[in-house]
Amino acid sequence: MLTSTLTAAPRAAGVQRWLICLDLQRQYVVPGHPHYRAEADEVVRRCAQVLEIARAGRWRIVHSQLRHEANGAWRRRDRFGAPIEGLRPLISEPVYLRDGLSAFCDRDFAAKLREATGDEVYLMGFSLADTCLATVLSAVDHGHRLTLIEDAVGAGASQGATPSQIARCLMTPFVRLSSSLEIERCEGALAL
């Protein structure tokens, strides 16, 4: 895996470290579930390692979980939406439930993260192609600069992927994709 390096610079006085735990939910680790990926066990192991470090270092830890509505009511008893064993939030770690892709869809989460302005904010979790991407983009809009813990994130583009493969991985949840050949074929058929 190609990773960027992070130099271990001392923190400036008054700078706090934050950890956003995004979608650490069972749907990503249960084989057979549509969101399951083969690398899930390794991602869980890395997330557990980062959580242990963050807790020992007294980082501010916040959890954001996607909760879909069913008939207007939250599906709180959904076993796939439950936290992953070993990655459950502590009572001192707030959990924000959202119905949109970005963690910032939850107003309380966005308000809490305003406290992190100027601090170091890290992100780990699942669903890189949609919720991680949406959260990163929203964080930028809110004035934050995040650090993605790339080996503690599930469902990412593989090393050596072509731009087309990366586009398919990252953009399919949001837009339809087409190739120039498909456009050419479609336009040619319309011209006849």
pLDDT tens digits for range 49-107: 999 999 988 999 999 988 765 443 435 556 666 776 888 999 999 999 998 989 999 99
Q: Is the Cβ–Cβ distance between 84 and 33 less than 8 Å?
A: no
Give percent above pLDDT 70 in the chain.
Answer: 65
Q: In the prediction, which pLDDT does 171 show?
A: 57
CA angle 107, 19, 66 (to 5 degrees): 45
Cβ(134)–Cβ(148) below 8 Å = no
> Has residue 31 been placed in a domain?
yes
Q: What percent of the chain is predicted at pLDDT more than 90? A: 27
Residue 37 domain boundaries? 17-156
- Give domain status of residue 91, yes or no: yes
Tell whether 162 is covered by a domain.
no
pLDDT per residue as tens digits for the range 105-122: 999 999 999 999 999 899
Q: Could you tell me if residue 113 is inside a domain?
A: yes
Residue 10 lies in a domain: no
Would 147 be classed as within a structural domain?
yes
Flag whether 187 is in a domain. no
Asked whether residue 112 is assigned to any structural domain, the reply reads yes
The enclosing domain of 38 has a CATH number of: 3.40.50.850
**How many separate domains does the chain show?**
1
Give how far Cα 110 sits from Cα of 107, 116, 170, 186, Å: 5, 10, 24, 44
Torsion sign, CA atoms 147, 94, 84, 75 = negative
Report the distance separating Cα 152 and Cα 48, nearest Å. Answer: 9
pTM: 0.74
